[in-house]
Amino acid sequence: MPRLKIRLIVNRGGGSSHEGSSEHLRALFAAQGIAPDMVEVAPEDLQRVCEEAGSAEGCDAVVVAGGDGTIGTAAAALAGSGRALGIIPLGTLNHFARDAGIPADPEQAVTTIVHGRRKAVDLAEVNGRIFVNNSGVGLYPDMVRFRDQTQVRTGHSKRAAMLSASLRALRSFRRRRLWIKTEEIEAPVRTPLLFVGNNRYQVNLFALGRREAIDQGELCVYAVRARNRAHLFWAGIRGIFGRLDQQRDFFTAFAKEVEISANRAALTLSLDGETLTLATPLRYRILPGALTLIVPQEPMPER
């Protein structure tokens, strides 16, 4: 079998742990008989280098090591190109890799890249910006912004800072007046928190749960119905005990395209754990099969 030719992109802003070091990653591939073409880049150069790798000759796959932000940048650069993306999950949460079935252990992830299969999976976009997981309006962007401020001020981990940020966001509770339009419905919604996901998520509250699949070609929309801070608090308690009711606690829709309008010229939103401000209306759409991803081989059927 011909030796796999891999372009390995290491984001220098992605941390300095041993597992994410260039030397360790090179050693993991060497153990598989692969000598990757490794490129170390500054965060501001990541998109350009991924785009160049997407069209480079003599490259069988582009591999990135990092969290959802790094993976989202690579996915956007490779969207529609047919060039395979391999993932070594090194972030805090690694939602996209988890939902794709990619092992969290770097050694197992490298084994998947070398011996895995290609699978077409979906991406999503809002106003031309591609994302791999979800986008939020309302409380969640506030939580992300407060989290980043807390990390800068205290040096706490992302998880610890998010807990503090969640409490701060709850104290500033407010509902947004939004208008949701899909192929099948048009409805006004007043909500403190709206999520749009790349494929269908399990219903949760402040953190969306897992996805059973990332190749079903649909967006999911969840808007929390809580009218005030107390209602949101009790919804959170019900969520802890697995007693959220989709009809009572959420406005829910599934669609290929979603338009979110508001009575303001722009909205701040989250996109795969980062925040940005975009002009309204927010136009979301699913991009079926836009990314070729390397995933583990399917297990052998039982006899």
User: pLDDT by residue (tens digit) across 85-116?
Assistant: 999 998 877 899 999 999 999 999 999 999 99
Q: Dig out the tokens for 132 from the structure.
A: 């791999």
Domain extents for the chain?
6-115, 130-286
Fold exhibited by the domain 130-286? Tumour Suppressor Smad4 (2.60.200)
Per-residue pLDDT reduced to its tens digit, 136-188: 998 876 667 656 666 667 776 666 665 665 666 666 767 889 999 999 999 99
Mean pLDDT of the chain: 85
CATH code for the domain defined by 6-115: 3.40.50.10330
How is residue 201 annotated by DSSP? Answer: B
Q: Give the global pTM.
A: 0.85
Selected residue with higher pLDDT from 243 and 45: 45
Q: Give ∠ CA 293-259-71 in degrees, rounded to 5.
A: 25
10 Å CB burial of residue 136 (0-12, 13-18, 19+) is buried
Q: Dig out the tokens for 17 from the structure.
A: 């742990």
Selected residue with higher pLDDT from 66 and 282: 282
Tell me which H or E stretch contains 68.
Answer: helix 68-78
Please determine, for residue 237, whether its predicted confidence score (pLDDT) is greater than 70: no
Q: Write the CB contacts of 54 (distance below 8 Å, at least 6 apart in sequence).
A: 62, 77, 78, 81, 83
